[in-house]
Amino acid sequence: MRKVKSKFSFCFLALTVIGVLNSCTKPRETVTPADDTADQTQVASDDARVNSELENVTVDANTALSASTLSSGRLSSLDSAGVINLPCDVTLDTTQYKSGIWTLTYSGSSCSGVYTRTGSITLQILGYAAPTNVRWKDAGAEILVTFNNYKVTNLSGLTFTYNGTHSITNVTGGLLKTLSSGTSIIHKITANMSVTFDNGKTKTWWVNRLKTWTYPGLGIYQISITGDSAIGGLSNYVTGGVTRAGNSFLVQIPVAMVSNSSCGWYKPTAGIRIVSGIARTLTETFGVTSSGVTYSGASLCGAYGYKFDWTNASGVSRQVVIGY
């Protein structure tokens, strides 16, 4: 009996050791990082849409103030047709012009067929009254643009509601109405803004950029946007802030953003923006074909949209192309 017991104990011990060894050599499970395409697409589309709409507003502001002798300092009133060439959804209120204040109110009509706009923006020329008598054509003239629940709704029903202020300085002086081929006008734009999305989340950001206006001809105006901030020894930073997800971000423009009045200010024909500070740095390239290749055709407005590239947590390069 004693011998059998000893044999049983030895066998039990051997099996136990084998089990321990097997457990030690068991391969570890591989954890695959979650697909971040949806998150990156959200960041990129927010960045592109929010900034393209701001271009529309600053163009409206500049158009309104350039048109009338009251604000611009021009010798002749309005444009050649005797009217202010603003979009069909905008009404200009000049009742406070003696204080240097103009108000643009948006009716909600769809002029472009791409979006509708409501709310208002207030334009104030600083130093408009005597004794300084500043007018928008003057070099160094500055306007304060205040967004009052300015709301944009796109075709998909998504909304963006802007609040905050822009400061626009006419660095070189001059007016769009008198801009000719071979000349340019430079505006410096600084801002502290917030935008509320349809899900109630908010993005906040600052802006520091230069906008150069040129006139290629055939009634077409063109703008070129570059950053005007240096951070960490690097130049061309244009904006930064906090995304709707609560993440800090910075945006750099290594290649100027270019758009024009013919294609639409919200459809850049060229430019690169780099969004950093988020989980995965994004590179946005504008003016590409549907396959993500830089458009090089003959048509001025032939580009399909923009693309953004990043490297995910697995080290895999990813790309998404979005149409305008």
Q: How do residues 199-217 score in pLDDT, each as one tens digit?
A: 999 999 999 999 999 999 8
Q: Which residues pair with 241 in a beta bridge?
A: 205, 249
Under the banding of pLDDT at 50, 70 and 90, the label for residue 155 is confident
Tokens linked to 47: 């960045």
How big is the chain, counted in residues? 324
CA–CA gap between residue 110 and residue 154 (Å, rounded): 10
Domains of the chain, by residue range, sit at 36-323
pLDDT tens-digit map of 160-171: 999 999 999 999
Mean pLDDT of 93-109: 92
Which pTM does this prediction carry?
0.83
> Bigger pLDDT: 112 or 98?
98
**pLDDT at 211 (0 to 100):** 96
Tokens linked to 255: 């290649």
Is there a cis peptide before residue 131, judged by omega within 30 degrees of 0?
A: yes
Give the whole-number percent of the chain exceeding pLDDT 90. Answer: 63
pLDDT at 196 over 90: yes
Mean pLDDT of 14-36: 53
pLDDT at 30 over 90: no
Residue type, 150: Y
Identify whether the C-beta of residue 244 lies closer than 8 Å to the C-beta of residue 202.
Answer: yes
Average pLDDT, the chain: 86
**pLDDT at 154 (0 to 100):** 86
Under the banding of pLDDT at 50, 70 and 90, the label for residue 17 is very low
**pLDDT at 83 (0 to 100):** 42
pLDDT tens-digit map of 266-307: 899 999 999 999 989 999 999 999 999 999 999 999 999 999
